[in-house]
Amino acid sequence: MIPKGFLFSTVEATIKKPGRKDLSLIYSQVEAYMAGAFTTNKVKASPVKLDMRKIKSGKGRAVIVNSGNANACTGTKGMEDAVEMSELVANSLKSERPLVYVCSTGVIGTPLPMDRIRPKITELVNNLGESSLEDVAAAIMTTDTFPKVIKRRLKIGHKMGVIAGICKGAGMISPRMATMLCFILTDIAVDQETLNKTLHEAVKRSFNRITIDGDMSTNDTVLIMANGMLGNPRITAKSESYVAFKKSLNEVTYELSKLIAQDGEGATKLVEIEVKGARRETDAEKAAFSVANSNLVKTAIYGNDANWGRIMAALGYSGVDLREDKTDIYFGKIKVAGKGLTTGRDEEAGEVLRGKYIKIVIDLNIGKSSAKVLTCDMSEEYIRVNAAYRT
């Protein structure tokens, strides 16, 4: 199941080390409407700067992606290389000035080995159709331990469209994205403005709500391509099918975010932190991030220690409005703290922590807003000290 009209290719360019595909191409047979979201890091990789210019057109035909080298902190040479990659693909594609986007992920500060990338471009273009979306998901991995693919089928009128997303994550995952590359492809026809708005809303509550290690990358990029080959009437914010499209896109980005959190470097558990009862959504988000970024909370989860005191401390320094004597904390369905005090159920809660998917709910009980943040636990050593601290 893939959206109509997309072709894929992967080759080995030995960008960092031999023995793996590290150069990929995503191609739409017709020009697609596109939208993108990019890192807010002030230090941006050259391909990010290039794509930010290209995305203003709202259109595109292809995306070339390399892993193994981020092409970040590489100065004017870096920009020249990104432009050259884009143009080499455009020329090989032989269509009329196709818009080709460029994404890079990997080591920062080392120039791209263009002498190894350049000769592979023709092969990359010629092989279009010989790789699957899953092959691309594997080729864009860096320290990821598994490829990340999420698909949703969606009925638009009588026709069955597809939204398919792939991404890579693992390190440098933080608020406002990560060394996170994500490509979402759909054959559903969507108006460009609507596509852009819907993507940004989806990113806000998914990729922008993951944190693995608090670090934010120079290369984060989310691109969506809607090539309209399903042939449905173009969706706008007023269309009957808009809500369903939006819901499916949100699901794809949220499920991809979960895969990223689950595959955080050294993670053994996926952790979802929900803060509710906050005065405002920004407070809920800030408080949830404070808990999710706490190394002490993450190591306690790794150690199956329902150490809710560390959560209280992290809430306390988050700076948001809260009252200690109103705050409830749950591990799964077990209430470990009520009105800021122990309920004596730490042991039961410790059992909950033995699972692979941990849900922590914090109710501030002073308002009606909520937010969810995804993260993972933190394993070993730094870690052994903290996990052993209480037991």
Nearer to a second copy, 6 or 308 (CB): 308
Nearer to a second copy, 161 or 171 (CB): 171
For residues 93 and 124, the answer to whether their CB atoms sit within 8 Å is no
Alpha carbons within 13 A on the beta-carbon side of 45 = 33
Question: Is 186 a known active-site residue?
Answer: no
Determine the longest span between alpha carbons in the chain, in angstroms. 69
Nearer to a second copy, 221 or 379 (CB): 379
Region of 210 on the Ramachandran plot (φ > 0 left; ψ -120 to 50 alpha; else beta): beta
> What's the closest the beta carbon of residue 296 comes to a second copy, in angstroms?
5
Residue type, 95: S
> What's the closest the beta carbon of residue 373 comes to a second copy, in angstroms?
16
Query: Strands 148-156 and 341-342: what pairing?
Result: unpaired
> What's the closest the beta carbon of residue 275 comes to a second copy, in angstroms?
14
For residues 170 and 143, the answer to whether their CB atoms sit within 8 Å is yes
Region of 205 on the Ramachandran plot (φ > 0 left; ψ -120 to 50 alpha; else beta): alpha
> What's the closest the beta carbon of residue 46 comes to a second copy, in angstroms?
11
The active-site residue out of 39, 179, 211, 221 is: 179
For residues 298 and 376, the answer to whether their CB atoms sit within 8 Å is yes
Nearer to a second copy, 155 or 390 (CB): 390
> What's the closest the beta carbon of residue 310 comes to a second copy, in angstroms?
7
- CA 121 – CA 388 distance, rounded (Å): 52
- Residue in 282, 296, 29, 313 with CA at minimum distance from that of residue 175: 282
What residues make contact with a second copy under the rule CB under 8 A? Answer: 40-44, 70, 72-75, 107-110, 142-143, 171-172, 174, 176, 213-218, 265-266, 293-296, 307-310, 312-317, 319, 322, 324-325, 337, 339-342, 378-386, 389-390
- Sequence-ordered list of residues with C-beta below 8 angstroms from that of 349, at least 6 positions apart, any chain: 306, 308, 331, 332, 334, 336
Residue type, 246: K
Nearer to a second copy, 72 or 103 (CB): 72
Q: Give residue for tokens 């988050």.
A: 318
Nearer to a second copy, 2 or 83 (CB): 83
For residues 64 and 23, the answer to whether their CB atoms sit within 8 Å is yes
Residues belonging to the active site: 179
